[in-house]
Amino acid sequence: MTDVLTQRAAYPTTRMRRMRRDDFSRRLMRETTLTPDDFIYPVFVLEGSGQREPVPSMPGVERMSIDLLVEEAQSIARLGVPAMALFPVTPLSAKSEDAREAFNPDGLAQRAVKALKDAVPALGIMTDVALDPFTTHGQDGLIDAAGYVLNDATVDVLVQQAVSHAEAGADIVAPSDMMDGRIGAVRAALESAGHINTRIMAYSAKYASSFYGPFRDAVGSAANLGGGNKYTYQMDPANSDEALHEVALDLAEGADMVMVKPGMPYLDIVRRVKDRFGAPTFVYHVSGEYAMLKAASQNGWLDERAVVLEALMGCKRAGADGVLTYYAKQAAQWLHQGLGASG
């Protein structure tokens, strides 16, 4: 890059603002584009019929029963959003220490997958593979008497959960638990069960972030977790090199895609991962990021459309192939309206 820059003629022969003067020339040299193809839409599903519950800490986001979720899926498919990520809101009565509801073939997530694939077969359906929605303690895995999350015992349950999702018709299973070795175990089980085309999106660099609070409210795990934390398995926010080790292991074990989570505070990690591995790389624009932008916009402090599209563009520019975002539907609508980020 230095050689290229030194070859440029000096001012006034080179005037960088020439190409910025008009909309047409700005568009001609735009390096990054944002389209509905770039989004995965996370949604929350609950039991019942005709049920819709707002998530107070995420204005505009709702938990929906399967029948209403099907309508939402049809809507985003028409907008060109390629995939939906499914998160179940498990009733308290179905939670247990051993998280057995996670792999119930008639569980909420499994029934939702079947309904969505029947109604909108071309829409990609991604499922969360983790135990926190199903445990009475709110941790992502099984725990011992001291409350420590057990790695290998948890992986055994995650494998059963992932296979149950694949059997229900999930296109992508996404282990978000951060247990060691779970990608290899899930891949082997999927192959053995004949689900050779089920894709794995590994939450490879998932940080122990404070930006997850609204999500935990939405799925009902916050109260169960109480004053606990996930520092012993999610990554330390101070670390960057460690993320590359995690990604390398997951790709070697059979991940088709990798994810960095959260989004904007970790875009340096996205860039390092994409530059190092070149694999399909995704980033999760998480609930806390959504809540901040929404709250500031509702207070009139920010132009919501402008800042959201700028934030999502930043994720793409950092190297992400796609973004999981609660703004997926609204951003797709804005882009279809031709409002984009071209101003």
DSSP symbol at 103: G
DSSP codes, 116-135: HHHH-TTSEEEEEE-STTTB
Structure tokens at 180: 């060691």
Return d(Cα 83, Cα 105) in angstroms, integer: 22
- H-type alpha helices, the chain: 2-6, 23-28, 66-78, 108-119, 151-168, 182-192, 213-219, 222-225, 241-253, 267-277, 287-298, 304-317, 328-336
Point out the catalytic residue in the list 261, 294, 316, 329: 261
- Stated as kind and residue range, the H or E segment containing 148 is none
d(CA 243, CA 263): 14
Known active-site residue 206: yes
- Indicate which residue of 95, 114, 206, 274 is catalytic: 206
Cα distance between residue 261 and residue 112, in whole Å? 25
**In terms of Cα–Cα distance, which of 111, 110, 102, 76 is closest to 325?**
76
- Angle between helix 267-277 and helix 304-317 axes, rounded to 10 deg: 30
Asked whether 45 and 69 are in contact (CB, 8 A), the reply is yes
Q: Are strands 52-54 and 62-65 parallel, antiparallel or unpaired?
A: antiparallel
**Rounded distance, CA 201 to CA 203, Å?**
7
Task: Please state at what angle helix 108-119 crosses helix 151-168, rounded to 10 degrees.
Answer: 30
Among candidates 253, 281, 252, which has minimal Cα distance to 266?
281
Q: Which residues are catalytic?
A: 206, 261
